[in-house]
Amino acid sequence: MGRGTEARTERKLHTIEKFARDESGAALIEYTVLLGMLVVAVVATIGAVGTWVNGRWTTLNTSLK
């Protein structure tokens, strides 16, 4: 093996070690999951409020006839 091959192998190992220590990807996934849960909660809340408002409008409309 020549010196160039050893240097490339060393750089590859260094890159792999650096990637293994990097936790920013894990944090990104955690924030994405948290955002997804928040979106589901907001959509469910909007749906529930919409149903409630629709019931109120229907009651009001019926009482005004």
- Tally of domains within the chain: 1
Does the pTM surpass 0.85? The reply is no
Q: In 3D, which of 39, 1, 54 has the Cα closest to residue 10?
A: 1
pLDDT tens across 13-64, in order? 888 787 777 777 778 888 999 999 999 999 999 999 999 999 999 999 999 9
Residue range(s) defining the domain that contains residue 7: 3-64
pLDDT of residue 2: 58
Other C-beta atoms closer than 10 Å to the C-beta of 37 total 10
Alpha helices in 1-65 (DSSP H): 3-21, 24-64
